Every structure is written in structure tokens, then in C-alpha cells.
Structure 1
Amino acid sequence: MTATRSQAIVVPAGAAEIVDLPAGGAFTLLADASHTAGALGANRLTLGKGRDGARPHFHALSTELFYVLAGEMEFLLGHEKATVSAGGLVVVPPRLPHAFGAAPGAEAAVLAVLTPGVERFGYFRRLGRIQHGLESFDGLLPEQDRYDVHFVDGDGWQSMRGTR
């Protein structure tokens, strides 16, 4: 499923790789940068009730778009909190620290698109292993440049979410 800039890619329903997460969540890996000639990367994330999706981080190179497909999501955008329901859209510019998760008591599904694309399927696979306790989060820290995911202090997010 690799395309040049002049070719389309099609990911049929059920054809994408799924990375299971605890509490009924999952990453559905739709398109990586190599599939889109670097134009974008796309995945679908489902989260169980109140589950975190990502701790605070920023992307140095890419803009990230989130379209909430179902349920309700909480986002930390810089120092501001936003709650977004199904049908809502969030666009995060490069270098803006952000975090997100399902709202308390709610499940959620979100389409995430990163542009320009960065090879990140390996990152999502590792997150799945981390979530299941098979790998340490600290192992991701040396990979921040590779995946363009730069982690920042999470105390504000944890306080906002009541997980601190």
C-alpha cells in the first residue's frame, strides 16, 4: 500500500492493522508516511471510558488534526482544556503542547491525521506494548526525534484529568 504523490491509496474496511489497547481501546493504523509519499499519516483511535490517549507532547514538524467520530474527548491545548463531542474537530499546529483522552465516563473514537506525514506505525505498536506493560515508556524517550513526538511535563494534564 505505497503511493506516489500522483496515486491514490485505498484502505478497505477491515484491512488495516489493529493495535489493541487496554479497556477496549485500539489504534487502527490506516496510512503511514511511506504509504502517502510523506503527505500525511492517519490512524483511528478508540478509547475506553475516561482513558488517556496521549500524555502531553508536541510535534516539531507536523500539524495534527483530530476529528471526533464518537463519544466525547478532552484535549489539553497549550494550557487550555477543550471538551469536544462527536462531529467536532481540533487542529493542533506544530510546537503546541497537547494531550487528549476520552472524557470521564465516556468512550471515544477519533480520526487523527498528521501532516506532513512521519513514519509512526512503529510508535503506535510500541505504545500498545507499553499500555499492556510489556515495554517501559522510558524506551520511547530516545525516539522522540524519529517519531516527531516530543514529550513535555504532564502535571497540568494529570491535575486536569484528576489522575494525579
Structure 2
Amino acid sequence: MSYLEYPKPRYHGAKGEVNSVFRPADTPPDISSPGASTHYLATNASTGGEFGLYKVELGARSPGAKTHFHKAMSESFYILSGELELYNGEKWVTGRVGDFLYVPVGGLHAFKNVTDEPTSMLMLFSPGAPREEYFERVAEMAQRSAEELKQFRLRHDSFFVEDFDPRTE
């Protein structure tokens, strides 16, 4: 029987360390806006770049994110509550509680809440990227010129189809 190999050790101590991070469930969101809130569960900084994990709560009829892809990281979605429309690069599927969508590097994807109820999901980026500035400033940048928004998105490894061919959205 053949077994997959584990990655090479990155910790070389003999006794382990006390270095866990606990975040209580009642911690307020790190970002709140009228239609959404985001909780920074594990950031690029807190995981040493291994991954980024965010809890995102979208209000009813939230537009989410249009079709895009990433060149440096994968993105995954896990539905905690409500329903979320997810574009898997080929078609829209309805994600419900417990559903999971993995989008490899380069995979086209999008999401939106088309229901009259809020929805909640976990978003996982791997490897970790400094997504916090993106989450914190994307609404502001959307109010600027199309070129400024495009450059902001590109700086954050977010290649939106509409930035390259507006007829495709």
C-alpha cells in the first residue's frame, strides 16, 4: 500500500509551544456595512501565510462578488446558514447549510445572495494572503474610477472578468 508523504517538518523543537489562538464566537465582526459583515478568524499574519479564514455574513439580496479568479491562491466556501448562489465557473449552483465549494487557483467563481434571508459562510484562502485590506476598502474603491478599481483588484490577486471584457458579465 502506498501512502502520501507528509510535508517536511517546519517546527524543530522537542517539546512543543504554547501558541494557539482562541477567538470566542461572540467576538464582534472586524468589518460591518449595511449589507454584510466579516470576521477575521485567521489572517495571513496570524497563520504565517499558511491560510486565511473568514466568516462572512451577507444580508438579504446581497450582490456578493461577480465572476473572477485568483492567480496565487485557492478559495473555498462553506455555507453555515441560509442559501448562497455560487458560480462554479460553469453554472450557478445553490449552496445550502453544509455545502462546500473548492475553487482551485485560476478557477472562475462568483457568489451572491438572491434570497430575502441573510446567509453566513466561511471563506478559506490558501495560501494565506493579506485579504483584510481588500475587504476593508473594496466598497470605497468601487466608488472610484473603473481603472482605479481594476488596479486595486489586481493588487489583491482578484482578476474580475468584467475588468477585461465588460460584455461577459
Q: TM-score, normalised by structure 2?
A: 0.76
Provide the residue aligned with 1:86 in structure 2.
97
Provide the residue aligned with 2:87 in structure 1.
76
Q: Which runs of 5+ in 1 are unaligned?
A: 158-164
Q: Cα offset for 1:127?
A: 2.4
Query: In the alignment, does 2:80 pair up with 1:49?
Result: no
What's the RMSD between the two structures over aligned residues? 2.5
Q: Cα offset for 1:155?
A: 5.7
Conserved? CA contact 2:55–2:120, under 8 Å: yes
Provide the residue aligned with 2:21 in structure 1.
9
For 2:133, the aligned partner's letter is G
Query: Which structure has more strand as a fraction of its residues?
Result: 1
Conserved? CA contact 2:29–2:37, under 8 Å: no
Query: In the alignment, does 2:48 pair up with 1:37?
Result: yes
Q: Which runs of 5+ in 2 are unaligned?
A: 1-9, 12-16
Three-state SS of the structure 2 residue aligned to 1:141 is: helix
Distance 1:145 1:139 in 2: 10
Q: Cα offset for 1:79?
A: 2.7
Distance 1:148 1:27 in 2: 19
Q: TM-score, normalised by structure 1?
A: 0.78
User: 1:35/1:146 Cα in 2 relative to 1: closer, same or farther (>3 Å)?
Assistant: farther
Conserved? CA contact 1:58–1:94, under 8 Å: yes
Q: How many pairs align?
A: 151
